[in-house]
Chain A
């Protein structure tokens, strides 16, 4: 226990002090500015947390470099963005009936009626309080479960089981992320296929590079992911704006002033809803592939069901706002459970944290991080320590700091953001496009990055138009190399047994569940569309 404590202390110290023991304000400042920017971004319709994370990552890398010291400031900023994004979304949802982020859609149901009654400020206070509660709860769950889960996994799972577990999470993601599990599966496999490009472990040279040497290490990861996520969205928005050039943004309504007090009585009223929603959001966050939007839906639904007066939901009920916001904010935090314990990203925010870790320093996420190596000082040699574990606790510290800033100053920013809902897309999208192209050019080594980002952008556009979720595509693309390494390893470590995946009961169970999930969910969705057609 003493050892655990020692690691925690070193992790915390690593955030506040640099290698020479001098006080270092940068990581803290980065969390703060990330959180502030995240709230602003969340409050801007058309932008969201992961979007901003995508744009910032290459810029952060060009500012801080790729050394190990750069990791905490960069992650601090990204974590701030991740947290801020879900909070800010509520602002325009409440004030203008326009959700700033998709997961704030349900906030409009009760938030906007409250604003119409003159309680806009109160709704904002409720939403901030609930968000902060949900987020804090989720972080605490992460701190407690990730290390335990990681140690468990590292001790129980061997190569075949680890491979099977990745296959299971991919199929789960394909099944739940979009409307059609089969489409999700196909697109996930396409993502995995594109990841085959580049060098293999065989040492026989690069494969599938179309003769382009610069693709020898595969498609540049960050450019590809940013392409699908950001550029695809930009293309879509540009098309939409071209189409509805004539439609004007809603004129701002001047809202009446009502009772905007928020005290203990209110907290007592909404607290039960916050608790259920925080638990739901945390659970959803821990599972790969289900996003914040579903968490918000489930949280709102549960609040309605548990309420004594469900018919009042949608008329401006504080519980409604609290339930949605606590649920969607509780996702960030818990979404790092699969990342920290397995190295599997479950949503876009997690994807960008993984990308940051892969591009900067030699820290790797995954179960091997939580190894409590005895700390020893050896003369003329240095300290023996598991540095990765110290970094992991440093990351936890950054998250706690994010929560602290959110509780203390998040509110002040939130109440002054109403204006952002009115930035037209015709201005914002070209700016986003310009920043993206410049940023990937700098990070991923020149023009090859530009071509990749545009090609993947076109792909992202097509997928969105076909209403296929892009999450399985991105996660498939990111996890394929890891899966290949595990399968190759499992095969050769078994002495070349082609059936190695089916020799361990646990692996068979994972594989079977993977198939079952897809079959079950596609039947369900087929049933739904049938009943719709009737």
Chain B
């Protein structure tokens, strides 16, 4: 009996390290769905360095910007599914953009893990004097032209929903990326803007104010502020950073990569964790596996319904 147990333990010991010790057969291509120098880029490159250090893998980050991550996704879809090509984008790349893009589907990918969540909210310049969305509605009713800058179709739909709910007549201004969206507000090309977290410095400086949070709770910089849910809008317009691979990705690779990333992001001394906690407070978002898949599917269906409206 003892013998059998020890054999079983031995088999178990042999089996589990084999699973955990997935080793890439060469360098891992780590594609970044956004341009150089931005928040996603910094996050991905720091993460890549720490993963290399932790696991001894060779990781090559490469920017493939465009179309809110979809340009990267279109290439990721066709990459080999051996776990040696992965890409960082945001959840809307997969659960929203795929609704409007014939070349992509939500089923084309293996979802590995989320890393961080946004601080998405509705912003105005401090000199506008607006403190809440009601102020904006009042201004709109008394004839002020509302130009609302956004970075994509989903948040633009959000502007529509908010406008309808509060009786604000909205003119949209589409910009390329979060920074350009905020710049349009500061440059007075717009008087309302969406912000996904990049507004941090300007809010702290008192140049820009947060009117409402589009996350499920108030934003860190406006702890007493309202959320869109308080206005009866039952849709989140925030986003999470999401790592994905091609469809049918090697499950061992998926597990090994998820574990390694979670290990890095749970370490309080990790540079990536520090960056995320500062830029996308309060802490990394480590949702993976089935929970992640379910969450993306829920978003996908909600977004589908939103587009139909």
Interface code A470-490, partner B: CB below 8 Å = 1, 0 otherwise?
Answer: 000000000000000100110
Q: Counting CB contacts under 8 A, is B205 at the interface?
A: yes
Q: Tell me, in angstroms, the Cα distance from A362 to B171 when the chains sit together.
A: 27
Closest to A159 in B: B189
| Contact call B179/A493, Cβ cutoff below 8 A | no
A493 and B103 contact, Cβ closer than 8 Å, known pairs A216-B66, A384-B204: no
A217 and B66 contact, Cβ closer than 8 Å, known pairs A373-B205, A376-B205, A495-B171: yes
Q: Which 4 A-B pairs have the closest CB atoms?
A: A217-B66, A216-B71, A362-B37, A199-B67
| Contact call B38/A362, Cβ cutoff below 8 A | yes
Q: Counting CB contacts under 8 A, is A68 at the interface?
A: yes
Q: Tell me, in angstroms, the Cα distance from A494 to B100 when the chains sit together.
A: 25
**Within 8 Å CB of A489, what residues of B?**
173-175, 184, 189
Q: Counting CB contacts under 8 A, is A505 at the interface?
A: no
For the complex formed, measure the closest distance between the CB of B36 and the CB atoms of chain A, giving whole angstroms: 4
Chain A, interface size: which category?
Answer: 35 or more
Q: Counting CB contacts under 8 A, is A371 at the interface?
A: yes
For the complex formed, measure the closest distance between the CB of A340 and the CB atoms of chain B, giving whole angstroms: 15
State the majority secondary structure of interface residues on B: mixed
**Which of A203, A362, A492 lies at the interface centre, i.e. has the most chain B CB atoms within 10 A of its CB?**
A203
| Contact call B37/A67, Cβ cutoff below 8 A | yes
For the complex formed, measure the closest distance between the CB of B181 and the CB atoms of chain A, giving whole angstroms: 11
| Contact call B205/A384, Cβ cutoff below 8 A | yes
Closest to A217 in B: B66
Q: Tell me, in angstroms, the Cα distance from A204 to B71 when the chains sit together.
A: 11
Q: Tell me, in angstroms, the Cα distance from A155 to B188 when the chains sit together.
A: 8
Tally inter-chain residue pairs, CB-CB below 8 A: 121
Q: Tell me, in angstroms, the Cα distance from A488 to B180 when the chains sit together.
A: 14
Give the residues from 442 to 496 in chain A that come closer than 8 angstroms, CB to CB, to chain B.
445, 485, 488-489, 492-495
| Contact call B189/A217, Cβ cutoff below 8 A | no
Q: Tell me, in angstroms, the Cα distance from A203 to B71 when the chains sit together.
A: 11
**Within 8 Å CB of A485, what residues of B?**
174-176, 180
> Given known contacts A66-B37, A206-B71, what 6 new A-B pairs fall within 8 Å (CB)?
A201-B174, A213-B78, A216-B64, A384-B201, A384-B205, A485-B174
| Contact call A203/B45, Cβ cutoff below 8 A | no
| Contact call B101/A205, Cβ cutoff below 8 A | yes
Q: Tell me, in angstroms, the Cα distance from A331 to B307 when the chains sit together.
A: 52
Interface code B54-95, partner A: CB below 8 Å = 1, 0 otherwise?
Answer: 000000001111111011001100100000000000000000
Q: Counting CB contacts under 8 A, is B152 at the interface?
A: yes
**Within 8 Å CB of B180, what residues of A?**
364, 485
A67 and B187 contact, Cβ closer than 8 Å, known pairs A216-B74, A374-B205: no
Across the interface, A217 reaches (CB within 8 A) one of B65, B171, B175, namely B65
Give the residues from 369 to 390 in chain A that come closer than 8 angstroms, CB to CB, to chain B.
371, 373-374, 376, 378, 381, 384-385
Q: Counting CB contacts under 8 A, is B294 at the interface?
A: no
| Contact call A381/B37, Cβ cutoff below 8 A | no
| Contact call B187/A154, Cβ cutoff below 8 A | yes
Interface code B127-154, partner A: CB below 8 Å = 1, 0 otherwise?
Answer: 0000000000000000001010000110
Q: Counting CB contacts under 8 A, is A198 at the interface?
A: yes
**Within 8 Å CB of A199, what residues of B?**
66-67, 70-71
Interface code A207-248, partner B: CB below 8 Å = 1, 0 otherwise?
Answer: 000000110111000000000000000000000000000000
Closest to B100 in A: A204
**Within 8 Å CB of B41, what residues of A?**
66
A201 and B66 contact, Cβ closer than 8 Å, known pairs A66-B37, A489-B189: no
Q: Counting CB contacts under 8 A, is B248 at the interface?
A: no
| Contact call B179/A158, Cβ cutoff below 8 A | no
Sample 13 A-B pairs with CB under 8 A, ordered by A number.
A66-B36, A67-B45, A154-B188, A204-B101, A205-B104, A217-B64, A362-B35, A374-B205, A376-B205, A488-B174, A492-B171, A492-B172, A495-B171
Q: Tell me, in angstroms, the Cα distance from A131 to B71 when the chains sit together.
A: 46
**Within 8 Å CB of B207, what residues of A?**
373
Q: Tell me, in angstroms, the Cα distance from A67 to B37 when the chains sit together.
A: 5
Interface code A137-160, partner B: CB below 8 Å = 1, 0 otherwise?
Answer: 000000000000000001100110
Q: Counting CB contacts under 8 A, is A313 at the interface?
A: no
Across the interface, A206 reaches (CB within 8 A) one of B38, B67, B201, namely B67
**Within 8 Å CB of A359, what residues of B?**
36
| Contact call B67/A205, Cβ cutoff below 8 A | yes
| Contact call A198/B66, Cβ cutoff below 8 A | yes
| Contact call A218/B186, Cβ cutoff below 8 A | no
Q: Counting CB contacts under 8 A, is A303 at the interface?
A: no
For the complex formed, measure the closest distance between the CB of A421 and the CB atoms of chain B, giving whole angstroms: 39
| Contact call A368/B152, Cβ cutoff below 8 A | no
Q: Tell me, in angstroms, the Cα distance from A212 to B304 when the chains sit together.
A: 28
**Within 8 Å CB of A362, what residues of B?**
35-38, 179
Q: Counting CB contacts under 8 A, is B123 at the interface?
A: no
